[in-house]
Amino acid sequence: MKALVLDEYNQLNYRDFPDPEIQSDEVLIEVKACGICGSDIHGIDGSTGRRKPPLIMGHEASGVILETGSAVENWQPGDRVTFDSTVYPLNDWFTLKGRYNLSDNRQVLGVSPGEYKRHGAFAEKVVVPHHILYRIPENVSFVEAAMVEPIAVAAHAISVSNLKPGSSALVTGAGMVGVFVVQLLKLFGASPVIAVDIDDKKLELAEKLGADFVFNSQEDSLSDKILELTKNRGADFSFEVVGIAETVQTCIANTRKGGSVILVGNLSPQIHFPLQQVVTREITVQGSCAINGEYELVLDLLAGKQVDVAPLISAVAPLSEGAEWFKRLYAKEPGLNKVILVPDN
């Protein structure tokens, strides 16, 4: 098969690669669409340590089942599917407790941190276990289905927050996942929804897709403006979707006493943390890791046209052109959002 392979750091090649082989509990999928994730972009230069070459990256994908293993039931060749980015064991303690995203032996598609290597979906074919599959509704396209993973990450963050309708919400970071957090917050009844970013173009998009108010983080008196919009208390819930010290601190500083900060971004392994603010104002800090069963919800929302992905898709391009699109994304080309790679005709 053809695949886009990270052969060395900063070296992506579209080349022949051995077809994957399926085990008894797995299915072979013909990939129809796969999105380039920000974590893929950060991973190609080796800085994250989670994509050691040679590796086929890609975990935001959809396709058609070509073949099923001998132990697979209820799935047939021809089924239109998407799949979780996390490959988790069914007999793990955390999985059995309903927390498969925390399972000790989980793997992530298209990732190779050293403990394991799991080839992903920037290829004509990919293999996944059948228990992470989800059917794509008839009125959802393969390209739309390739957007389920980042929407589900946003949905999980809101799920773990225990947000109630009418709560005020602050979102720092209006990138891909951040904008989906904004969309879902509005859908789930948060009010007002305030988005903060350093990029005015991203803020324009966040406002178009549901943010009631948007602010550039470099504006003067940012905290005063947020206080004015939240009855002089601060946000009930703040969602940090970047993963650097500055945005974490912005969230904590602008959350009300007794409020909650949900940490979604994780660009930085360690940050300076304002401990006294958290302790003396009794703020809850909640981590949100990946996805834990939100795919079905997101597919239903897409089928019902309740989440709009079109404004976030900048290009749908052939897999053979993937290396060039990676370069443009790595260079942070202005105005470039999600790029979906599809098979060459």
pTM: 0.95
Number of domains present in the structure of the chain: 2
Q: Which strand (E) or helix (H) includes residue 280?
A: helix 275-280
Q: Which of 188, 199, 201, 196 is nearest to 254 (CA)?
A: 196
Same domain assignment for residues 121 and 143: yes
Q: Is residue 161 part of a domain?
A: yes
Same domain assignment for residues 269 and 159: yes
CATH of the domain at 117: 3.90.180.10
Residue 51 DSSP label: B
User: What pLDDT, in 10s, does the model give residues 203-251?
Assistant: 999 999 999 999 999 999 999 999 999 999 999 999 999 999 999 999 9
Same domain assignment for residues 17 and 127: yes
243, with CB counted inside 10 A (0-12, 13-18, 19+), is middle
User: What pLDDT, in 10s, does the model give residues 300-338?
Assistant: 999 999 999 999 999 999 999 999 999 999 999 988 999
Same domain assignment for residues 69 and 35: yes
What does the block give as tokens for 279?
A: 């302790």
What does the block give as tokens for 8?
A: 């060395």
The phi and psi torsions of 313 (rounded to 5 degrees) equal: -95, 110
Domain that holds residue 6: 2-147+309-342
> pLDDT band at 127, cuts 50/70/90?
very high
Q: Is residue 13 part of a domain?
A: yes
Q: In the sheet that 169-172 helps form, which strands lie side by side, from edge to edge?
A: 213-216, 193-197, 169-172, 235-240, 255-263, 284-287
* Side chain identity, residue 113: P
User: What pLDDT, in 10s, does the model give residues 234-243?
Assistant: 999 999 999 9
pLDDT value at residue 49: 86
Same domain assignment for residues 136 and 79: yes
Q: Is residue 181 part of a domain?
A: yes
3-class SS of residue 142: helix
